[in-house]
Amino acid sequence: MTANRPWLRTGLALAALLATAPVAAKIWYTDSQSETAAELVEQLEERHYAKLEYDDELSSAHLDNYIESLDGGKMFFTRGDIESFEAFRYVMDEALPRGRLDAGFEIFNRFEDRLTARLERVVDTLPALYAAMDFSRDETYAVDPELRDWAADDEALDERWRKHLKNQALSLRLADKDEEDIVDTLLKRYRTQLTRVRQYNAQDVFQLYANALTELYDPHTNYFSPRRKENFDINMSLSLEGIGAVLQLEDEYTKVSRLVAAGPADKQGELKPADRIIGVGQGDSGTMVDVIGWRLDEVVDLIRGPKGTTVRLNVIPADAASTEVHKEIQIVRNTVKLEEQSAHSRVLEVPAGDDSTIKVGVIDIPAFYIDFEAMRRGDDDYKSTTRDVRRLLDELESEGVEGIVVDLRNNGGGSLQEANELTGLFIEYGPTVQIRHSSRRVWRDGKRMRTAYYDGPLVVLINRLSASASEIFAGAIQDYERGIIVGDRSFGKGTVQTLVPLTEGQLKITESKFYRISGDSTQHRGVVPDITFPSLYDPEDIGESSLEHALSWDQINPVRHRRYGDLDPLIPELSALFQERSASDPDFNFLVDRVALADENDDIQVVSLNEETRRAEREAREARALAIENKRRQALGEEPLASFDDDEEDSAGEDGVDPEDGEEEGEDEADVLLSEAGNILVDALLMRKQAYAIHSPEEE
DSSP conformation letters of 101-156:
-HHHHHHHHHHHHHHHHHHHHHHHHHHHHHHH--TTS--EEE-SGGG---BSSHHH
- Could you tell me if residue 292 is inside a domain? yes
Q: Helices (H), strands (E): how many in the chain?
A: 19, 19
Q: Which of 285, 277, 267, 328 is nearest to 302 (CA)?
A: 277
Both 238 and 183 in a single domain? no
The DSSP call for residue 260 is -
In the prediction, which pLDDT does 597 show?
Answer: 87
- The answer to the question of residue 478 being in a domain is yes
Q: What is the DSSP string of 560-606?
A: --------TTHHHHHHHHHHHHHHT-HHHHHHHHHHHHHHHHHT--E
Mean pLDDT across the stretch 469-491?
97
Q: At 332, which helix (H) or strand (E)? A: strand 327-332
For residues 440 and 588, give the distance between their C-alpha atoms in angstroms, rounded to a whole number. Answer: 45
- Strands (E) across 177-298 are located at 222-224, 245-250, 253-259, 276-282, 289-290
Rounded Cα gap, residues 505 and 376, in angstroms: 31
Q: Is residue 1 part of a domain?
A: no
**Quick one: pLDDT at residue 697?**
52
Q: Which of the residue ranges 439-448, 510-519, 688-697 would you say has the lowest mean pLDDT?
A: 688-697
Q: What 3-state DSSP class applies to 511?
A: strand
Task: Give the residue from 445, 437, 405 showing the smallest Cα distance to 421.
Answer: 445
Q: How many CB atoms lie within 10 A of CB 19?
A: 9
Q: Write out pLDDT tens, residues 615-669.
A: 999 899 889 989 999 999 999 999 999 987 765 444 444 444 443 333 333 444 4
Question: Which positions are annotated as active-site residues?
Answer: 468, 479, 493
Q: In terms of domains, do 536 and 486 share one?
A: yes
3-state secondary structure 469-491: HHHHHHHHHHHCCCCEEEECCCC
Which pLDDT band holds residue 387 (cuts at 50, 70, 90)?
Answer: very high
How far apart are alpha carbons 236 and 428 in whole angstroms?
40
Mean pLDDT of 218-238: 67
**Residue 625 domain flag:** yes
Residue 279: pLDDT above 90?
Answer: yes
Instruction: Output 340-343 pairs: Cβ under 8 A, ≥24 positions apart.
Output: 340/262, 340/267, 341/261, 341/262, 341/366, 341/367, 341/369, 342/366, 342/369, 342/383, 342/388, 343/385, 343/388, 343/389, 343/392
Phi (first) and psi of residue 238, to 5 degrees: -105, 35
How far apart (Å, rounded) are the C-alpha atoms in residues 319 and 589?
17
Distance between CA 218 and CA 49 in Å, rounded? 9
Is 406 contained in some domain? yes
The answer to whether the beta carbons of residues 312 and 288 sit under 8 Å apart is yes
pLDDT in tens, 317-360: 987 767 778 899 999 998 777 667 789 999 999 998 788 999 99
Taking phi over 0 as left and psi of -120 to 50 as alpha, with beta for the rest, 562 belongs to: beta
What is the DSSP code string of 31-65?
Answer: HHHHHHHHHHHHHHHHH-TT-----HHHHHHHHHH
pLDDT of residue 338: 61
Q: Are 650 and 657 in contact (CB under 8 A)?
A: no
Which of helix, strand or coil describes residue 72?
Answer: coil
Question: Do 416 and 535 lie in a common domain?
Answer: yes
Q: What whole-number percentage of the chain has pLDDT above 90?
A: 69
The total number of residues written for the chain in this structure:
700
Give the bridge partners for 433, in sequence order: 445
* Whether residue 510 sits in one domain with residue 583: no
pLDDT band at 60 (very low <50, low <70, confident <90, very high): very high
> Phi-psi bin for 404: left (phi > 0), alpha (psi -120 to 50), beta?
beta
53 touches 82 (CB < 8 A): no
Domain match, 305 and 317 both: yes
CA-based R_g, the chain, Å: 28
The model carries a pTM of: 0.87
How many domains does one find in the chain? 4
Arithmetic mean of pLDDT, 673-682: 96
| Contact in structure between 510 and 496 (CB atoms under 8 Å) | yes
Beta carbons within 8 Å of 159's beta carbon, 6+ residues apart: none
DSSP for residue 555:
B
Q: How far apart are CA 613 and CA 135, in angstroms?
A: 10
Of 217, 233, 248, which marks where a domain is finished? 217
What integer pLDDT is reported at residue 242 of this predicted model? 80
CATH number of the domain within which 243 lies:
2.30.42.10
**Contact assessment for residue 568 and residue 608, using Cβ atoms and an 8 Å cutoff:** no
In three-state secondary structure terms, 644 is: helix
The upper half-sphere exposure of residue 348, i.e. CA atoms within 13 Å in the direction of its Cβ, equals 25
Q: How far apart are CA 618 and CA 615, in angstroms?
A: 5
Which strand (E) or helix (H) includes residue 496? strand 495-501
Higher pLDDT, residue 274 or 109: 109
pLDDT band at 297 (very low <50, low <70, confident <90, very high): confident
What pLDDT score does 318 carry? 86
Task: State the Cα–Cα distance between residues 307 and 241, nearest whole angstrom.
Answer: 5
Q: Reply yes or no on whether the pLDDT at 560 is more than 90.
A: yes
- Give the H or E element holding residue 686: helix 662-695
Model confidence over 575-627: pLDDT tens digits? 999 999 999 999 999 989 988 888 888 788 999 999 999 999 989 988 998 99
Residue 7, pLDDT above cutoff 70: no
Return the higher-pLDDT residue of 667 and 250: 250
Report the distance separating Cα 215 and Cα 223, nearest Å. Answer: 9
**What pLDDT does 355 receive?**
84
What's the Cα-to-Cα distance from 338 to each of 313, 581, 689, rounded to whole Å? 26, 38, 40
My answer on whether 544 and 429 are in the same domain is yes
**Amino acid 19: pLDDT:** 43
Q: Is 515 a domain residue? A: yes
Strands 484-487 and 495-501: what pairing? unpaired
Closest-CA residue to 275 (of 306, 303, 239, 301): 303
- Cβ atoms of 477 and 423 within 8 Å: the answer is yes
Q: Which residue has the higher pLDDT, 138 or 257?
A: 138
Side-chain half-sphere CA neighbours of 124 within 13 A = 6
591 plus 682 within the same structural domain: yes
Residue 682 in domain: yes
Q: Quick one: pLDDT at residue 643?
A: 84
Task: Answer whether residue 570 shows pLDDT above 70.
Answer: yes
Residues 261, 393 share a domain: no
CATH of the domain at 493: 3.90.226.10
The answer to whether 22 touches 109, Cβ cutoff 8 Å, is yes
Rounded CA gap, 91 and 63, in Å? 10
Residue-number span of the structural domain to which 349 is assigned: 338-568
Which three-class secondary structure state does DSSP give residue 660?
coil
Residue 239 burial (CB count, 10 A): 17
- Do 511 and 393 belong together in one domain? yes
- 483 and 532 share one domain: yes
Percent of the chain whose predicted confidence (pLDDT) is above 70: 89
In a domain, 89, yes or no: yes
Degrees, nearest 5: CA angle 403-407-413: 135
* Residue-level pLDDT at 16: 46
CA distance 148 to 559: 49
571-576 — which CB contacts under 8 Å span 24+ positions? 571/484, 571/530, 571/531, 573/687, 574/484, 574/530, 574/531, 574/680, 574/683, 574/684, 574/687, 575/531
Could you say which of 284, 317, 332 is where a domain stops? 332
pLDDT of residue 665: 39
As a 3-state breakdown, the chain gives helix, strand, coil percent values, each rounded to 5, of 45, 15, 40
What is the model's pLDDT at position 382?
85
The answer on 287 and 164 residing in a single domain is no
Taking the alpha carbons of 177, 183, 188, 190 in that order, is the dihedral positive or negative? positive
> Taking every pair of C-alpha atoms in the chain, what is the biggest distance, in angstroms?
102
Q: Is 202 in the same domain as 323?
A: no
β-strand partners of 327: 315
